[in-house]
Structure 1
Amino acid sequence: MTWSNYSRLGAWLVVLAFLPLLAGCGVYSFTGTSIDPTVKTISIQTFQNTASNGPSFLSQRFTEEFKDYFQRNTSLKLVPRDGDLQFEGQIVAYDFAPAAIQNQNGVDQAGVNRLTMQVRVRFTNTKDPKQDFEQTFQGYGDFPATQDIARINNDPTALRRITTNVITDTFNKSVANW
C-alpha cells in the first residue's frame, strides 16, 4: 500500500468516527427546534380576545402572526384542525398603564407607559402527550407617555414587538424544548 492510500483510508476513518456525532442523540434543526420526525402537521385555532380593552383586530392579527412564525421556523404543514401539534387559547389581558412616574413641576405624572399583553395557550402534542401544557405567556412594551394607546394600536410595528415576545416564548416552550 502506498502512502496516499493510507492517507485516504485515514481520512475515511476520521469521517466514519465523527458520523455518529453528526447524527446526534435527537432531532435538531438550525432554527433550534427539536421536533419528532413523525410530527408533520400543526393546527392553530383563532386566539379569542377575552381581554376587556383590547382592540377589535387583536385576535385576528395575533393568530396570523402566530401561524406565520411557526410556518417560517418549522417545516410543519398548517392544517385547519387535528394537527399533530395543536394550539389554541385566549388573549386574557391587554393593559396600558404607567410604568414610571416622574415628578414635573410638583406634579406626579407618567414618564413611560407600558402595554402588557397576556395570552393563555393550550398546546397539545398528539405524538407525545407528556409535552402538552397550558400556560400564560406575557409580552410588554414601554412607550413614551406622549404616545396614547390609540396611536400604539395603529402602529403595527409597536404591537408586533409585544406579540413576537409571546409567540417566541410559546415557540421555545413547545418545539424548541427550552
Structure 2
Amino acid sequence: MLRKLLFVAVVAGLVGILAPSCKINYTFTGANLSPNVKTFTVYYFPNRARLINPTLSQSFTEELREKLTRQTSLNELSESGDLEFEGQITGYEFRPMSIQKADESAQTRLTVTINLKYTNNQVPEENFEKSFSAYEDFDSNLSISSVEEELSAEIIKKLTEDIFNATIANW
C-alpha cells in the first residue's frame, strides 16, 4: 500500500513539474501562427485581368483584410507587417458550361483568379507565391449584370477562405 502511494506521489510530482512546460496552442478559427507574429499588411490587389469588374479589386482587398481581422488577433499595419499579402487579379472570365442541344449553354461559369505573394517576415520558410481560383455557375438565361455582383461576392468569400487556409491555418 505504501509503495502504491509513493508511486502515485512520484507520478503526480512529475506531472506537476512537466505539465507547465508543455504548451498547447488552440484556437477556434484555425489560425496556426508563430507567437512572434503580431501584425499583417494587405496591399491593394490591382485588377490585371483582360475583362475588368471595376469593383473587384477593392472588394477583394477589403474582404481579405476583414477576414484576417475577424479570425485572428493580429493588428493591421499599412505596410511592413509580420505577414504581408500582395498580388493581383489575373483572371475574370465567363465561360459556357453544360452545353445542350443546338450548341446552347444551360449554365455559365464566372471564374476569378488571384495571384498571391505571401511573405511571413517572422518565418521566411513559409513564404510562397501561388495562384488561387474560384468560380460560381449560373443559369445562362439570366443576364450577367443581374447576377455579377452576387456571384463576385461569393467567389471573393471562397478565395479569401482558400488564402486564409493556405497562409494562416497552414492547410
Query: What TM-score comes out, normalization by structure 1 length?
Result: 0.83
CA RMSD of aligned residues (A): 2.4
The whole-number CA distance in structure 1 between the counterparts of 2:21 and 2:98 is 51
Pick from 156, 159, 171 the counterpart of residue 164 of structure 2.
171
1:31-60 Cα offsets, whole Å, 9 max, x none, are 111111111100000000001212111100
Give the C-alpha shift of residue 116 in structure 1: 0.4
1:64-105 Cα offsets, whole Å, 9 max, x none, are 0111111111010011000000000000000111111111xx
| Partner residue, 2:90 | 92
- 1:114 has 2:109 as partner: yes
Moved segments of 4+, more than 4 Å: 15-22
Amino acid at match of 1:143: F
The whole-number CA distance in structure 2 between the counterparts of 1:173 and 1:91 is 18
Structure 1 unmatched runs, 5+: 1-5
The whole-number CA distance in structure 2 between the counterparts of 1:18 and 1:113 is 60
Query: Contact 2:56 / 2:152 at 8 angstroms: preserved in 1?
Result: no
What is the count of residue pairs matched by the alignment? 163
| Partner residue, 1:23 | 23
| Partner residue, 1:3 | none
Structure 2 unmatched runs, 5+: none
| Partner residue, 1:142 | 137
Q: Percent identity?
A: 36
Matching of residues 34-49 of structure 1 within 5 Å:
34-49=32-47
Give the C-alpha shift of residue 16 in structure 1: 4.6
Secondary structure of the equivalent of 2:49?
Answer: coil
